[in-house]
A and B are shown apart, each in its own frame.
Chain A
Amino acid sequence: MNTIPELIRTVPLQHYLVLSTCLFFIGMIGVLVRRNIIIVFMCIEIMLNAVNLLMVSVSAYRGEASGQIMVLFIMAVAAAEVSVGLAIIVMMYKNLKTTNIDLFNQLKG
């Protein structure tokens, strides 16, 4: 039975880099084009998880632990962030009865 860093190292590092970059840009495009707030949230989570994947793989390859600790921090902070975000959505839904982003255009100059 291999240890987990060895298992991670069975795939070349370049593959992880390409995969996480692709994931990140998929998430980014999702944030920019999708109109439903919940989906936008999920796209932000995809972006964060792309970063997590990159950090973990590099950490395993370089034998350097701080990247994995950073991943734990990112997860904790993302959870806190999403809880605030969902509270904001509930607050908006009570006022407007919708989660479509296009209706939130009251503020303009």
Chain B
Amino acid sequence: MMLALIILTLAGLLILFLGFSKIRNVLLPVAIVALVAAIFSLTTQQTFWNQYLTDMVQIDGISRKISLIIMYTALGLLPFFNLFKGRGQEELSDFLGIYLFAIIGSILMVSALNYMSLFLGVEILSISMYVLAGANRRSVHSNEASLKYFITGSFTSAIMLFGIAWIYVESASLSMVQLSGAATNMMSFGFLFLFTAFALKVALVPFHFWAPDVYQGTPTLFTASMATLVKIAAIGAFYRLVQLNYAVLPDWINWYFVLLILATLILGNIQAVSQNSVKRLFAYSGIVQSGFILMGFLYQSEFVDWTMLFYFIAYASASLVGFIVIHFVETQSGSDNLDSFVGLSKSNPGLALVLTISLISLAGGPLTAGFMAKIFMLSQSIQNNFTALALVAVISAVISMYYYYKVINAIYSKSADASWSVPFYYKGLLYVFTVITLIAGLVPSFLIGLIK
């Protein structure tokens, strides 16, 4: 755990310095090697220097699994940073370094055991993402996305801190594990603020207003990391917080989650239907998916982790493919509107195929990871006696088919565009993600075995 953080920090600093050196073409390999080394050290459970982290960070089963999912997702996106090569060595080194710092922040966030390290993790992740959101300095859209992300982000951290402070008023300890009995009113007040801050960070309705704008304005590859890395880290940290404090949480907390889920599933879908920009559509899709993942938070007696982890993998593999294909289409046609996707099946059949499978997976179509993930989530919530909620979720999934179908329809409609291609290694990676989506859908027991 500690070793992974040290490796990533040193690699990030090294990359920032290498950006000014004369040596060419080493930045990306350094980043990939560092991330692989960090994944290796986390998989083999190295305990180097772990004793200095006793009460601040704890790497237990669930946080290790979420960290690994985050790191694999980050690793999947990393080769595509090669697309920024045209912008010069300095900018590439900035992006890569900051991206590695974002990964550090998300690992710290999901394995925090103390509110101090939770806050630091959230801030390391957020500040890195503010910078990446504004990566296109000349574009007003990128500027606007960066500013909106910044203002909602720092507003969110202020709310989170206020919640932490009220918990501190009552418990006089910043430890996330509350040992004393039931929560008092002050503590419940604190938890309400803390959870609202996380709902803002994850972008759950009614706290989602910033997400579509930010996702649309941000350069698409960074949107991909926002939609996967940041979202998984935020939900993971949220989940761990609920799990650690589950004994002291007040009774109304399940109803708070139910209200959030209902609003997210219903309003998120309704707003997604009228979108014309595919990037915004994916933003709303991400919002609705996080509503589904939140169903894993509803507990009766015990937590079942693997449904949520399975959902993370299904969501990450599908939406990574989606955003990367949007990036290629956007660079080709100059816009991310639905019209740019018309005739993609003729002009670039490979990309059309992977995008279709990713859309089917996000919609929850059979034979894909998204279908199994939704089934597991629904059966879990029915087991926990939230049958009405499961019913609403099924109806919302049916509504969501409509807007995913809109994109698929555009891809396969006729058009006389000239064909274009992307380099084979990018395409190969996209096929790999798609194969993961399909394997998770066809033989879910294999993936569940891996998770467990």
Q: Which residues of A contact B (CB under 8 A)?
A: 17, 20, 24, 27-28, 31, 37, 40, 44, 47-48, 50-51, 54-55, 58, 62, 64, 66-67, 69-70, 73-74, 77, 80-81, 84-85, 88-89, 91-92, 95-96, 104, 106-109
Decide if the interface of chain B is mainly helix, strand, loop or mixed.
helix
Among residues 158 to 209 in chain B, which have CB atoms less than 8 Å away from a CB atom of chain A?
158-159, 161-162, 164-166, 168-169, 172-174
Asked if B147 and A104 make an inter-chain contact with CB atoms under 8 angstroms apart, the answer reads yes
Decide if the interface of chain A is mainly helix, strand, loop or mixed.
helix
Cβ–Cβ < 8 Å partners of B19 in chain A: none
Asked if B123 and A70 make an inter-chain contact with CB atoms under 8 angstroms apart, the answer reads no
Number of chain B interface residues as a range: 35 or more
Asked if B154 and A81 make an inter-chain contact with CB atoms under 8 angstroms apart, the answer reads yes
Given contact pairs A107-B213, A109-B274, A92 touches B143 in the complex (Cβ within 8 A): yes
Given contact pairs A44-B155, A66-B173, A73-B116, A95 touches B127 in the complex (Cβ within 8 A): no
User: Which listed segment binds A: B133-141, B287-295, B309-317, B320-328?
Assistant: B133-141
Cβ–Cβ < 8 Å partners of A104 in chain B: 143-144, 147-148
Cβ–Cβ < 8 Å partners of B268 in chain A: none
Q: Give the distance to chain A from B52, nearest Cβ to Cβ, in Å.
A: 16
B380 in contact (CB, < 8 A): no
Task: For the complex, give the distance between the alpha carbons of A89 and B155 in Å.
Answer: 16
Cβ–Cβ < 8 Å partners of A67 in chain B: 168, 174
Task: For the complex, give the distance between the alpha carbons of A54 and B164 in Å.
Answer: 10
Q: Give the distance to chain B from A12, nearest Cβ to Cβ, in Å.
A: 13
Query: 4 closest pairs, A vs B, by CB?
Result: A47-B158, A62-B172, A51-B161, A107-B213
Asked if A96 and B161 make an inter-chain contact with CB atoms under 8 angstroms apart, the answer reads no
B120 in contact (CB, < 8 A): yes
Asked if B169 and A54 make an inter-chain contact with CB atoms under 8 angstroms apart, the answer reads yes
Task: For the complex, give the distance between the alpha carbons of A25 and B445 in Å.
Answer: 50
